[in-house]
Amino acid sequence: MRVLTTPQEAFERVTGFDYQPYYAEVPDQDGGTLRMSYVDEGPRQGPVVLLLHGEPSWSFLYRKVVPVLTGAGIRAVAPDLVGFGRSDKPADPADHSYARHVEWVRSLAFDVLDLRGVTLVGQDWGGLIGLRLLAEHPERFAGAVAANTGMPTGDRDMPEVWWRFRRTVEKAENLDVGRLVEGGCARPVAEEVRAAYDAPFPDESHKAGPRVMPTLVPTSPDDPATEANRAAWRALAASRIPLLTAFGDSDPITGAMGPVLRGKVPGAEGQNHTTLENAGHFLQEDVGAELGEVVAEFVRRIHG
């Protein structure tokens, strides 16, 4: 496996995200190891929230959420997915798969950090990965927040706006990551924020992760990930783990997935839903502090 690492100097101009990055090695599932980066803030003995970002962002996305959580006495752990942020970047798209990304996060969260009583916050691919972990390792979780995400099986077609996004990512000669994030926001994004999303990808060779992730979303019933996702849905349907759906009101990509989660997961019944106003797909960017308050209150309810 050929692996690239973004030079540290690429992050020196990132502002508003001064948290210390930590690093850990996880098996690459090909006989070697990969280095994953993560932010770990707040009291180590407090309830822990696992913040999983999606495509094509990195833990910087949670910079407005983390201080709200730590201010409420909550430990906030925000990894960079393999291929993103400060984490190692397998250069061959074939080295990425849905199953591998699930296992990479599992290894970091459970084998390395030994997180227990976790409240998941998963947005976009953070939900596709995190909901699988919740279903497959329920003993590790106290609850979950699904934020503009779902867990496709390929039995339903994705919306046309998502297909347009996939075609853009696949065909763009120069993939403009900062612009992609801005396009998924309901509010203007400052130039320095766009630059921060670009920082992990100094050239096209580092962008295999962002380019390949849309192709790993199950879009047909015979997709390699379909059976595992179906099994995860069955496990969640039999679970009573509390699940809160927190969706932006301006996200055409995942808006339809909220009712699906609430209809299939018993722990999402009742009042476990909130709609965040003026929030697009990247609701952490649009209304990060508000999302942080929603998550903090949910954690308080879970832990009494």
pLDDT level of residue 272 (50, 70, 90 thresholds): confident
Of the ranges 13-22, 137-146, 267-276, which one carries the lowest mean pLDDT score? 267-276
* Higher-scoring residue by pLDDT: 7, 269: 7
Residue percentage of the chain with pLDDT more than 70: 100
Q: What is the mean pLDDT of residues 234-263?
A: 93
pLDDT of residue 193: 98
Instruction: Specify whether 251 is catalytic.
Output: yes
pLDDT at 194 over 90: yes
Of the ranges 95-109, 157-171, 190-204, 231-245, which one carries the lowest mean pLDDT score? 157-171
Q: What is the mean pLDDT of residues 9-32?
A: 96
Nearest C-alpha neighbor of 230 from the set 147, 131, 95: 131
pLDDT at 270 over 90: no
Structure tokens at 165: 């996004």
Q: What is the mean pLDDT of residues 222-250?
A: 96
For 18, what's the count of Cα atoms within 13 Å in the CB-facing half-sphere?
3
pLDDT of residue 288: 97
Structure tokens at 204: 């096209």
pTM as predicted = 0.97
Integer Cα distance of 302 and 145 in angstroms: 12
Q: Please, what is the average pLDDT of the chain?
A: 96
pLDDT of residue 290: 98
pLDDT at 304 over 90: no
pLDDT of residue 264: 92
pLDDT at 261 over 80: yes
- Among 95, 206, 281, 286, the active-site one is 281
pLDDT of residue 269: 79
pLDDT level of residue 126 (50, 70, 90 thresholds): very high
pLDDT at 271 over 90: no
* Higher-scoring residue by pLDDT: 170, 99: 99
- Among 88, 95, 124, 198, the active-site one is 124
pLDDT level of residue 221 (50, 70, 90 thresholds): very high
Q: What is the mean pLDDT of residues 111-128?
A: 98
Instruction: Specify whether 281 is catalytic.
Output: yes
- Among 28, 88, 251, 286, the active-site one is 251
